[in-house]
Structure 1
């Protein structure tokens, strides 16, 4: 059972929090129908993302077995058999699509189906295409956001959409930089690596892409806080006061990335650093104070 749980990667379900963004920023938590639709979407994406992880591990089992770290994964190590993995994939796929359909949330099911199709293509081919791989990751997050907004009848802010897109690109390129720096000879020695696409990246290129997307993330978030629609929705024109906190969080993450202490697992890294955790709590506190007054 522990091997199956590790195969599902429940720690990665934090990424599905993107489904909740629309509900939170639209003040939709007072509408039971919206809350129900978003909850169904969140649970469906947890099932779908786990299905994708199992599929990826099943597809890459031979390469993982030759990798110094990934050889300990459940399928590569043989702790979960191939037949059991196939059954698990089928159950998770059916659950991810069946749950929203059973609850009458067919738009959610449509978005989840799109996510599954995208990730099947990513696992089989697109993850080996330079730049396309990171844009696929960003598309996965945008589908989560779409599930929690358009699919349940919430109209998201255009600046929120742009900020989310640039932020996911930033984290994706930061992840690739951490991976390539961790490889011998700056990423050129790829023996035992399952990340073939790293052959087509370079640290200088990724440095530029990280800088561009980090800057764009902060710019679009700042524009979101001063947008007239945002002020009207939240009843305050002072959300821009949260921009220094967000800026510190991004800069702190960059510091950890270039220090070599983060990047490969963004979800884990964002929770592991005390200063980032304090920044998140400070951001929440300021937002609650501004919106609640």
Structure 2
């Protein structure tokens, strides 16, 4: 069971929570019908993403065996055979697409687009620097757009820009982790062949600044304040700025190498900041409606 959970990367399912973003920011998250559809959408992305992870691991078996951490993955270590991995990927892929069909047709098209992009990534496009992180970021953007399509809610342009920039930030942070591991092991992997620390540090810093501005612009945009009936959303930017600065501190000052997902789930300051951001948004949007 442990190897199976590792194979499908269940801990990465948290990324599919982006489908809930439009409903949360739109103030309609706790509508029962919306929740049912969004949960179904969450599992669609999770199943399809797990299938893609397995396919990617199969293609990278030999490379992963020479990696200090990835050599312990189920396929690379031999804990699960390629045949079993293929069966698991097929079952998850069929389940994800079938469930998407029952959600709605437009959502199915988004899932298929997500599948094609990620298959292209796994089959070779990941070897093209910059395009690789853009493709990773597009996955988060598609999840967010899907969340709006599922419950038929309009999405702010600022929200989409903010999500895409935030996803680029995460992708670059992962490249930073790969670079630090490469320095420690002395092995230059495919992922960091055309990257270096100066480039990644500069990219992370630039995108951090633009992301903060995008979020602030989102909170004060007339469209959002009118739709949510609140002029106080900008207060939540305090926690967004604090969270980004903390991540920069971890990366640039502490030089703490680690998966962005792992850091977000283990750093106490970041966890506190995220919870405060969610709480402040909830108070401003939902409690003001009496929900």
Name the counterpart of 1:134. Answer: 133
Q: Is the 8 A contact 1:122 1:133 kept in 2?
A: yes
Secondary structure in structure 2 of the residue aligned to 1:25: helix
Matches for 1:67-106 after TM superposition, within 5 Å: 67-101=67-101, 103-106=102-105
Distance 2:174 2:236 in 1: 26
Distance 1:9 1:104, change over 3 A: closer
Q: How far is 1:35 from its partner?
A: 2.9
Distance 1:67 1:242 in 2: 40
Distance 1:73 1:288 in 2: 39
The yes-or-no answer on 1:182 pairing with 2:181 is: yes
Distance 1:276 1:73 in 2: 28
Uncovered stretches (5+) of structure 1, i.e. residues with no partner: none
Q: How far is 1:257 from its partner?
A: 1.2
Q: How far is 1:41 from its partner?
A: 1.1
Name the counterpart of 1:158. Answer: 157
Distance 1:21 1:228 in 2: 19
Q: Is the 8 A contact 1:142 1:164 kept in 2?
A: yes
**Number of positions where the alignment pairs a residue of Structure 1 with one of Structure 2:** 286
Distance 1:104 1:143 in 2: 16
Q: Is the 8 A contact 2:107 2:149 kept in 1?
A: no
Q: TM-score, normalised by structure 2?
A: 0.93
Uncovered stretches (5+) of structure 2, i.e. residues with no partner: none
Secondary structure in structure 1 of the residue aligned to 2:95: helix
CA RMSD of aligned residues (A): 1.7
Name the counterpart of 1:242. Answer: 236
Distance 1:112 1:152 in 2: 15
Q: How far is 1:30 from its partner?
A: 5.1
Name the counterpart of 1:10. Answer: 10
Distance 1:199 1:73 in 2: 22
Q: How far is 1:28 from its partner?
A: 2.6
Give deviations 1:134-154, integer Å, cap 9, x for gaps.
000000111111111134411
Name the counterpart of 2:111. Answer: 112
Q: How far is 1:80 from its partner?
A: 0.5
Q: Is the 8 A contact 1:38 1:147 kept in 2?
A: no
Q: How far is 1:190 from its partner?
A: 2.9
Matches for 1:28-43 after TM superposition, within 5 Å: 28-29=28-29, 31-43=31-43
Q: How far is 1:85 from its partner?
A: 0.8
Distance 1:288 1:105 in 2: 29
Q: How far is 1:287 from its partner?
A: 1.6
Distance 1:174 1:30, change over 3 A: closer
- Specify which of 246, 251, 256 is matched with residue 250 of structure 2: 256
Q: Is the 8 A contact 2:20 2:144 kept in 1?
A: yes
Q: Is the 8 A contact 1:48 1:93 kept in 2?
A: yes
The yes-or-no answer on 1:286 pairing with 2:280 is: yes
Distance 1:179 1:83 in 2: 29
Distance 2:183 2:281 in 1: 44
Name the counterpart of 2:267. Answer: 273
